[in-house]
Each structure stands twice: as C-alpha cells, then as structure tokens.
C-alpha cells in the first residue's frame, strides 16, 4: 500500500512539475505579405509567446519562466502580460535584430481544472 501511495505521489509531482511552460513560436514564412501598413518597416515575422502555470487560490505553484524559454519555475509569479512582452521583445531583438515591434496584443485567461477538486 505504501508503495502505491509513494508511486502516485511521485507521478503527480512529475506531472505537475512538467505542466507549466513558457514557449516562443515563430512564423516567418509570410508568402511576401506584409503584416504592417507602414511603408518604412520591413516585416520579419510573427512571434507568439505563451507563459502559463498552475496556481492554487491565486498562489503560484508552477509557472513558466519569463527569462528562459521552456523552463519551469516554482513559486514564482511570472505569468503576467509584462513578462510575456519582455520575453517577446528579447526574442525579437536576439533573433531578428528588430528595433520595432508592431501590433502587440496580450490575453489573460484562467481555467479551473476539474481534477483539482479531488485535492482540495
């Protein structure tokens, strides 16, 4: 019985630790279509940044890192629009040598996960 409890606890911990993420996705095949109406700017690509995590009663348990793409942080409230913008501009500057980012949009959502009802 103890082995089953230990195994389930380890499995839940492993799933929880790998469930938070930050990612940067890039779309640069634009088929010669500009994404901006400004004549002075050259369109380099479309960048999408996601930072998400698991929170319990608004307290961060696991969240994606805003400093390093794909890294998980514990007890760090990094899931904010400001951190997403910081990651996007850092990536745009490093990858494309961009000086200007146009049409920046942010979106914050919250979803209740049904299995969490069993733990609380």
**CA-based torsion, 74, 79, 82, 86: positive or negative:** positive
53 located within any domain: yes
Q: Is the pLDDT reported for residue 87 higher than 80?
A: yes
Do the domain assignments include residue 95? yes
The token pair that represents 76 in the structure block: 């760090």
**Within-domain flag for 84:** yes
Least confident of 2-6, 22-26, 72-76, 90-94: 22-26
Q: Give the number of domains in the chain.
A: 1
**Which is more confidently placed, 98 or 19?**
98
Task: Let me know if residue 41 belongs to a domain.
Answer: yes
pLDDT score recorded for residue 108: 74
Asked if residue 29 has pLDDT above 70, the reply is no
On whether residue 13 sits in a domain, the answer given is: no
Domain-located, residue 103: yes
> Does residue 33 surpass a pLDDT of 70?
no
**Residue with the larger pLDDT of the pair 77 and 29:** 77
- Full residue range of the structural domain in which residue 83 is found: 20-118
- 3-class SS string, 37-92: CCCCCCCCCEEEEEEEEEEECCEEEEEECCCCCCCEEECCCCCCHHHHHHHHHHHH
Residue 69 domain flag: yes
């Amino acid at each position: 019985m103890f082995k089953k409890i230990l195994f389930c606890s380890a499995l839940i911990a492993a799933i929880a630790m790998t469930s938070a993420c930050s990612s940067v996705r890039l779309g640069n095949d634009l088929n010669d279509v500009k994404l901006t109406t400004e004549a002075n700017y050259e369109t380099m690509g479309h960048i999408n940044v996601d930072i998400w995590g698991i929170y319990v009663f608004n307290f961060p348990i696991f969240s994606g890192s805003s400093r390093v793409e794909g890294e998980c942080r514990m007890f760090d409230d990094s899931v904010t629009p400001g951190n997403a913008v910081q990651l996007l501009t850092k990536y745009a500057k490093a990858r494309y040598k961009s000086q200007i980012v146009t049409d920046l949009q942010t979106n914050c959502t919250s979803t209740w996960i049904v299995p969490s009802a069993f733990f609380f």
